[in-house]
Amino acid sequence: MRKPFVAGNWKMHGSRDANARLVQGLRTAMTAPLASHCDVAVCPPFVYLADVAVQLQGTPVALGAQDTCAEPGPGARTGEVSASMLLDVGCRYVLVGHSERRQFHGEDDGLVARKLSAALAVGLTPILCVGESLQERDAGLTHHVIARQVDAVLDAAGVAAVGRSVLAYEPVWAIGTGRTASPEQAQEVHGFIRGRIAARDGNIAGSVRLLYGGSVKASNARELFAMPDVDGGLVGGASLNAEEFVAIVAAAARK
């Protein structure tokens, strides 16, 4: 019912040469049957988007960005990139509210909701990231934090907007640490998120895709994606290796 989806977040990695090699690897390994069973996207840094858009032509891999300005633009916002610019260079998706934006750039729930709306307004599909820190989990606050992050967007943008988005649960303690959430831990929070959306609209809750992110690798993807509410992955480090990334896509395609 929900088509699996795997997105690669390259974060602040890459160079023109390295990206060209990575995309060539994806072009070779991403077979048509795989792509017909799983949506796939990669999210390079802003400066490489236009290059990578050209390199991805003729492949089933879509382009995404890692962030967007919350203002529609054009305008006086030095250093910012608007959603319409992302669309202009070929993006289809954009991450909003990644924990590294929340943590290192002070992005709060209100700003994240405005970014989501800005993306939707131009026809991009936002990938809304939520997740608790280790301290929050240890303090028993996981549901509290996730509810706050999800409800902020439901309240500000509306449930229909969330329905036109993809959500990603990324526990901060599992990002780049090699410490993956267990399939049961992921399922538990995914079920909670779906329930939170169902409280507003059951149909939307049933159709929206919920990705898991945090040390997803080829070796653990299959068991994570076997969970009923895990519809795919948002992959960081492992998306920088074409073989590893495509193996994760293959695991999702078998779902």
Q: Which residues bind ligand 13P (CB under 6 A)?
A: 9, 98, 170, 175-176, 213-216, 234-238
**Following DSSP, what letter does each residue of 178-245 receive, concatenated?**
S-PPPHHHHHHHHHHHHHHHHTT-HHHHHHSEEEEESS--HHHHHHHHTSTT--EEEESGGGGSHHHH
Q: Which is nearer to ligand 13P, 13 or 143 (CB)?
A: 13
Give the separation between CA 152 and CA 114, rounded to whole angstroms. 10
Read off the tokens for 240: 């920088």
To ligand 13P, the closest distance from the beta carbon of 49 in angstroms equals: 17
170 is catalytic: yes
Beta bridge partners of 9: 43
Contact 68, 83 (CB under 8 A): yes
136 is catalytic: no
Q: Which is nearer to ligand 13P, 60 or 213 (CB)?
A: 213
To ligand 13P, the closest distance from the beta carbon of 172 in angstroms equals: 9
To ligand 13P, the closest distance from the beta carbon of 8 in angstroms equals: 8
Q: Which is nearer to ligand 13P, 162 or 175 (CB)?
A: 175
H/E stretch holding 9: strand 5-9
Please tell me what DSSP assigns to residue 69.
Answer: -
Among the listed residues 100, 170, 190, 244, the single catalytic one is 170
Reduced to 3 states (helix: H, G, I; strand: E, B; else coil), residue 50 is helix
Q: Which is nearer to ligand 13P, 159 or 227 (CB)?
A: 227
Give the separation between CA 9 and CA 41, rounded to whole angstroms. 9
To ligand 13P, the closest distance from the beta carbon of 235 in angstroms equals: 5
Give catalytic residues, as residue numbers.
98, 170
